[in-house]
Structure 1
């Protein structure tokens, strides 16, 4: 029987309870492992003797290893290829920002350098979005909560992580219990990441959205909408057939009523598919009842598998102007990072990144900046 990750919170808590060991030792174990990646259990000071026996018998300090690290040419993006205990691979991406660059609402932006980690929740994905490289893998398996948290552990040894976005491989809400357990670990000691600096992105799994705020309040919710009407959504996102747009919007309205927070709408720009002026007006009318931020995402090429091309800058600008000026909807355009290492939005798929020469983009406005506006 395979040993479990020590970061599998529900498992280790259950085992400690069964053995009569106080759960207060668990954060101390996590902190020591983070700081001492090659430690033996006996190295951890001041644990009850029964804890050492239990840890040796049932847990590993890490069930995954960093197989490869790829650095982008711009020096601000790092992609980690992580090998899991079952031999499968997932990818995580560190994106670095400097808050001191530029201005926010006409004033110098607060803070300094910070890093956001893009985390995977599954090996592959069953949603089958036709513009996403991960979807071409199909679905392999869910990650345990420990395997999700271990991505943060690996990344934190390379950079101080301040924000987490569940926008990597997989549909987070299709791995709901592991997602919730992982977030509870990330927001507790020793990580102590604020829930307001964690974003969960979903294609719109309605039944999970309905309970997310109660289970893990104060998160940012991002919805991969990508089309303003049901028929276009179904064409580019097959899973949309199971989650009709009208029912999805009702669920989002209820979520916003409970959370009193903005919802982030992700909208990938596909030339001739969803980027015309009529689509901008349809989207504006659909989102008028909500407090939202729309993030327009330039389509990233995924080789010969894609039938799509990227919308022109002119179309993106016009689309943004309609949403802003006519419907008064805050709208940003994502400036992609990590394209040269296949680490940008929609490009995560387990293979070695090709070495095409792709111009590096300027740093993007990340979730932390958008929340302040």
Structure 2
């Protein structure tokens, strides 16, 4: 029999309400499970007596377990391999930053150490982006809201998590209901993450982007654009055929008007494909009316069969110079972390046959740094 996670908030509240139990007990259960690894649900104190048989018969404190936690050589990145109840696995990645390093506007930066967690929303992915290892897996299944939140639970037992980015395995907006519920749990008690410290990345699922201002109005949106025109997008991102660039940009204009928030644009730099100076001008013209931050991402090889190469540092710098100097678009170059543990952007893939890690999750410059 498959049990539900207690972090499947909607299911747990529905069961409680059907049994005449107040749903206000739900966050108290979450707090106990979060702070008591290995607990049994019968151990949760101060619940109505009717709650215990219901919890024990239908739910588990966690339905996943941490198979391994692999640290990078510099110990700034930890890759988590998490085994799910159905036997599949996903990866999550902890990235540690010290915001006091470097300067902003020529002045010392404030702040201190903080950790960002990159989470997965699906096992595999339907999008099939040719530069991403996850696409080689195909699509296996959606994660429940509880399975998404459990990645945060596992990570929180290693370090305090301040930011969460949905940039791991899967297309988050293709698992929309679970995504929304998971974020609502993460921003409520006991996790209490700020919505402004949560970022959802998408290849551009237009109908879901249109719903975000209502369901998640203050969460950050990152769009995996990766090309300045529809033809190139379709070549490297087959799913782009369903989301024409013109309609996507219209949706982003509406999104920005409704939320008054900047949009983060992700752009993977592929040698000879989308990294020429003319592409930078095309991208600049496409985005010049938006309030955006463009993040240029070095391509990370995904095996010997890859037909792509990493753009030269010169091309990346020229691309950035055009966007900044000609179009006044804030543009960063992604800081890669965890490459020695295959924890860099686009390398995430789990060998389901052997249940071992062979990849990593998307790693980015700390999202808070891009808000300044």
Please, what TM-score do these two structures have when normalized by structure 2? 0.96
Secondary structure (helix, strand or coil) at the match of 1:305 reads coil
Equivalent residue, structure 1, for 2:116: 116
Give deviations 1:308-363, integer Å, cap 9, x for gaps: 000000000000000000000000000100111111110110144579xxxxxxx9
CA distance in 1, matches of 2:200, 2:364: 18
Give deviations 1:132-188, integer Å, cap 9, x for gaps: 000000000000000000000000000100000000000000000000000000000
Equivalent residue, structure 2, for 1:37: 37
Give deviations 1:270-305, integer Å, cap 9, x for gaps: 000000000000000000110000000000011123
Aligned positions of 1:307-326 closer than 5 A: 307-326=307-326
Equivalent residue, structure 1, for 2:368: 368
CA distance in 1, matches of 2:145, 2:42: 24
Equivalent residue, structure 2, for 1:257: 257
CA distance in 1, matches of 2:5, 2:204: 29
CA distance in 2, matches of 1:171, 1:305: 23
CA distance in 2, matches of 1:249, 1:305: 33
Equivalent residue, structure 2, for 1:142: 142
Q: 1:370 to 1:24 in 2, by over 3 A?
A: same
Whether the aligned pair in 1 keeps the contact of 2:4 and 2:59 (CA below 8 Å) is yes
Q: Does 1:13 align with 2:26?
A: no
Alpha-carbon shift at residue 104 of structure 1 (Å): 2.1
Give deviations 1:107-148, integer Å, cap 9, x for gaps: 222221000000000000010000000000000000000000
Q: 1:353 to 1:28 in 2, by over 3 A?
A: closer
Equivalent residue, structure 1, for 2:241: 241
CA distance in 1, matches of 2:219, 2:40: 35
Whether the aligned pair in 2 keeps the contact of 1:171 and 1:202 (CA below 8 Å) is yes
Give deviations 1:1-42, integer Å, cap 9, x for gaps: 311000001100111111111111111100100111211122
Q: Does 1:55 align with 2:55?
A: yes
Aligned positions of 1:274-353 closer than 5 A: 274-351=274-351, 352=356
Equivalent residue, structure 2, for 1:359: none
Whether the aligned pair in 1 keeps the contact of 2:349 and 2:358 (CA below 8 Å) is no
Alpha-carbon shift at residue 99 of structure 1 (Å): 1.1
Q: 1:354 to 1:74 in 2, by over 3 A?
A: farther
CA distance in 2, matches of 1:106, 1:175: 42
Whether the aligned pair in 1 keeps the contact of 2:5 and 2:146 (CA below 8 Å) is yes
Q: Which runs of 5+ in 1 are unaligned?
A: 356-362
- Residue correspondences, number: 365
CA distance in 2, matches of 1:354, 1:59: 31
CA distance in 2, matches of 1:273, 1:327: 22
Equivalent residue, structure 2, for 1:155: 155
Alpha-carbon shift at residue 105 of structure 1 (Å): 2.4
Runs of at least 4 residues off by over 3 Å? 351-355
Please, what TM-score do these two structures have when normalized by structure 1? 0.96
CA distance in 1, matches of 2:239, 2:109: 39
Whether the aligned pair in 2 keeps the contact of 1:115 and 1:160 (CA below 8 Å) is yes
Q: Which runs of 5+ in 2 are unaligned?
A: none
Whether the aligned pair in 2 keeps the contact of 1:134 and 1:348 (CA below 8 Å) is yes
Aligned positions of 1:48-197 closer than 5 A: 48-197=48-197
Mean Cα displacement is larger for which, 15-24 or 240-249? 15-24
RMSD: 1.2
